[in-house]
Copies of this chain bind each other. A is one copy, B any other.
Amino acid sequence: MARRAEKPSGGTRHATIREVAERAGVSVATVSRILTGSYPASPATRAKVMRAVEELDYVANGHARALQGTTRKSIAIIVNSVISPHYAHVAQGVQTQAAEDNRLCQIGTTGGDAERELAMVQFMREQQPEAVILVGNVAVNDEYRTRMGRYAHALAAIGSRLVLCGRPPLGPEIPAVVVEYDNAGGAFAATSHLLSAGHRRILFLGRRPGYTTPDARVEGYRRALTAHGVPLDPDLEVDGTFERYEGYRMMRERLTAGLGDATAVFAANDQIAAGARQALLEHGLRIPEDVSMVGFDDLPPAMDIDLTTVSQPHEELGRTAVRLALGHAKQGGPPPHTVLGAHLVMRGSVRPIVIR
C-alpha cells in the first residue's frame, strides 16, 4: 500500500501533473490521456492514476484549476417555466445582455409556486448576483407584496437588487427596479384594429381577474370598445389562462354554446390564438373568411399561423432589465422604472366586414 502523501504545503501550491505521474508510476502523457479521456487505458493503469490523483487532491487543485477561477459576477432570472415562449425570450434577452456585460446568467424556474420561488431566491442569493430578475404575470395581493418586500430588502442587504420585469411597480416602500411593457396600449391597438375593420362583437379570450397581465389587456380591450362607442358585454369576455390548450378549450366551449353574433376574436396571447384557431378549424370555420383574429406577443406560432398580433419587445425587455440593474448597481439612487412600447404587426388573420 502506498504511503499516504502529505498534501503539498501552503494554500497556494498545487500538486503538479508530474507528481501525479511519479506517484502512479506512469508517464505524464498517460496521466493526461486518462484525465482527458482522449485515449483508452487499461483499468489497472486508470485505477493507479485515479488513486494518485485522489491522494494528491490533484483533481480539485490542479487539473480542475480552470474550474476554480475567481468568482464570476452574475445575474439571476426567475421565471415560472421556460417552455412559455414569452419567458424563454425574456430570459434569452437577459442572457444576451449579461454576456455582453461579461456576467454569467443563471435561470431558476418555479412552476408558478410561491414556496419554490422563495427557495429559489434564497438559493440564488448565495451566489451574490448583482440582480435577481422576476418575470411576468402575477396576482398582486398582500401576500405578494410581503414576499416582494422580503426579497427586495434581503437582496439590498447583500448589495444586490430586485428587478420586476413585466410586472407593475409596488411603490417606494419596496425598492425594486421595474421594466414593464405596455399591455393596455397594445390591447387597445389590437382591438382598435378589429373595430376599424368593422367588427363590433369581439370575443376576448383569456380574462383572469386579479392577474396583472390579463387585467391590463382586458383594460385596453374595453377602452378601445368604449372609445369606438361600442357597448361592453361581459358575456364576450372568456376566462382562461395563457396556454395553447386553454385557447382551444375556451373556443370549443364558445362554439358548442354557439358563437352568437361574434365576428372576431382578440386572444390575450398568441398561444391562446393558436389553440382557438385549431378549435375553429375543427369546427369548419376559417380565419379570416369566417372569423377574424388578433393575438398578442408576436412569438413563433404567430408567423406560422399568419396571425395579426401585437409585437412585444421580449428580448429587449430582458436586456433592459439587465442594463437598468447594472446601472443602478453603479449609480445607486432610487431604482429606475421603464415602460417599453408595443406595436401591431399585420398579417392575414383579419378581414374587413361591412359596418352594420
A123 and B35 in contact, given A107-B107, A171-B40 (Cβ under 8 angstroms): no
| CB of A255 closer than 8 Å to a CB of B | no
Contact with B along A39-50 (1 / 0, CB 8 A): 111010010000
For chain A residues 26-82, which have a beta carbon within 8 Å of chain B? 33-41, 43, 46, 53, 59-60, 63-64, 66-69, 71-72, 74, 81-82
How many angstroms between the C-alpha atoms of A152 and B35 in the bound complex?
Answer: 9
Contacts of A145 in B (CB 8 A): 36-38
| CB of A269 closer than 8 Å to a CB of B | no
- The stretch from A228-236, A297-305, A320-328 touching chain B is A297-305
How many angstroms between the C-alpha atoms of A322 and B173 in the bound complex?
Answer: 41
- The stretch from A8-16, A108-116, A191-199, A256-264 touching chain B is A108-116
Q: Is the CB of A95 within 8 A of B122?
A: no
Q: Is the CB of B81 within 8 A of A95?
A: yes
Q: Is the CB of A153 within 8 A of B122?
A: no
A107 and B109 in contact, given A63-B154, A149-B36, A157-B64 (Cβ under 8 angstroms): yes
Interface residue from B104, B158, B300 paired with A123 (Cβ < 8 Å): B104
A99 and B123 in contact, given A82-B91, A89-B83 (Cβ under 8 angstroms): no
| CB of A339 closer than 8 Å to a CB of B | no
| CB of A119 closer than 8 Å to a CB of B | yes
Q: Is the CB of B104 within 8 A of A106?
A: no
| CB of A121 closer than 8 Å to a CB of B | yes
- The stretch from A124-132, A181-189, A206-214, A215-223 touching chain B is A124-132
Q: Is the CB of B64 within 8 A of A154?
A: yes
Contacts of A36 in B (CB 8 A): 145-146, 149-150, 173
A37 and B148 in contact, given A60-B158, A64-B153, A274-B304 (Cβ under 8 angstroms): yes
| A130 CB to nearest chain B CB (Å) | 13
For chain A residues 298-324, which have a beta carbon within 8 Å of chain B? 300-301, 303-305
A: which residues have CB within 8 A of B?
33-41, 43, 46, 53, 59-60, 63-64, 66-69, 71-72, 74, 81-83, 85, 88-89, 91-92, 95-96, 99, 104-109, 111, 116, 118-127, 142, 145-146, 148-154, 156-158, 170-174, 244, 274, 277-278, 300-301, 303-305
